[in-house]
Each structure stands twice: as structure tokens, then as C-alpha cells.
Amino acid sequence: MNTAIAPSPVDVKLLRRRLGEFSTGVTVVTYRDSDGQPRGATMNSFTSVSMDPPLVLVSVARQAKACEGLRDNAFTVNILAANQLDLALHFAGRPNTSLVVGWHEPTVGPPRLTGTAAWLQCRSWRDYDGGDHILVLGEVEHHDARPLEPLTFHRGEFRRPGLKLLQLPRTVAFDGRPACEWASHVNMFYALADAGIDDQPLDI
């Protein structure tokens, strides 16, 4: 008896709705086209991949101009601030002719946008097949951030972040492994006690 379960046809519209349950930030991926002009495309498929080497990924629709533009090309992932909705729309195929786009064009490397919450400048690493998208991996070479609220996207709507629910403890390197900040303080206390140093002020 054949017990293999035939894959059920996926309702693409419904799948899109399901995927929209996952909140993301909003980025504009910027690059130079073959004529040297600065270009950008709004993308929320951005994700971190690796720390060593430092790799990030964006999933780019094959029909997007950015698909050709990003192949073997340096790019910058611009993480938009909550007040940059106009840029998100502009680079998502709704060009606004009256919008003045603030470009920063470094002498070396891809162009980027001004006023963003953060940016990561990448050199091309590798592209992979991703069905009707290509998965573009970049190696982060430079990055910076400003303390701005990010723009977010959830259920097909642009939003700004809500309430902070829990302040997680910071992690620090401890014996070469990541640990909560309080763990290293406790360890320092025991180390001092073991060494018989009990009058040393603990700098915590």
C-alpha cells in the first residue's frame, strides 16, 4: 500500500496571509546599476545568516530589476526608521516624483540612504536558487546605526513597534562562550572569594 501523502495544493493567497503573521522590519536594498546610477528596492525578506564570516541574506523576486542589479554586485541593506514610510513606498514600485531621496554616495562602495535606523554595507558573497526568487548573500564590510525606532511590517500593514515587554539581560563573552551579564558577575565574585580577596569592591 502506498502511504505517501500527496502534497496538498497550497492556496497562494492564503499562504501570503499566513506569512504576514510574521512581523518584520523594512529595508531598502541599495546598489549601483550597470550605468552607475543609485537604485533601491524595498525588501522585508532580510535576515542574518552567519557571524563568521558575517553574512546576511535577502530574497529577491526574479522579475524585480534588483534581481539583475544585485547579482555579483555590492549592496547596502538600509533598515528604515519609523518616519521613512514614504521611502518604503517609493522603492516598492510606487515612485513619488516629489520625494527628495537622500542618497549618500561613498567614494568606494554602494550608495545608501540617509536618515535610516541602521545600514549594513555588503560585498557580494553568493547567489542561490530560491524558486521564483533568488537568495542573495552578502558579506558585511561596514555597518552603523542610530537610536531610531524602526519601521515594521505586519499583516500587510506598515507599523511602528509597540510596548517593550521584557528587558532581556545583556550577553557577554564568558570562557569564550556567550553568557548572561549577571553570570560573569557571579563568577567574578567566586573568583575573588577563592583568591581570598574579600575587601575588593565589585565593579558591577
Ligand X SMILES: Cc1cc2nc3c(=O)[nH]c(=O)nc-3n(C[C@H](O)[C@H](O)[C@H](O)COP(=O)(O)O)c2cc1C
Residues that bind ligand X (CB under 6 A): 26, 41-45, 59-61, 64-66, 92-93, 153
Closest alpha carbon to 120 in 170, 58, 164, 69: 58
Burial-class residue 113 by CB neighbours within 10 Å (0-12, 13-18, 19+). Answer: buried
Query: For 69, which DSSP code?
Result: H
**Which residue number, 45 or 184, has a Cβ lying nearer to ligand X?**
45
| Residue 17 CB contacts under 8 Å (≥ 6 apart), including other chains | 155, 156
**Which residue number, 101 or 183, has a Cβ lying nearer to ligand X?**
101
Give the nearest distance from C-beta 180 to ligand X in angstroms: 34
Give the nearest distance from C-beta 202 to ligand X in angstroms: 47
| Residue 116 CB contacts under 8 Å (≥ 6 apart), including other chains | 28, 78, 79, 80, 81, 84, 146, 148
**Which residue number, 94 or 185, has a Cβ lying nearer to ligand X?**
94
**Which residue number, 19 or 197, has a Cβ lying nearer to ligand X?**
19
Give the nearest distance from C-beta 107 to ligand X in angstroms: 25
Give the nearest distance from C-beta 119 to ligand X in angstroms: 17
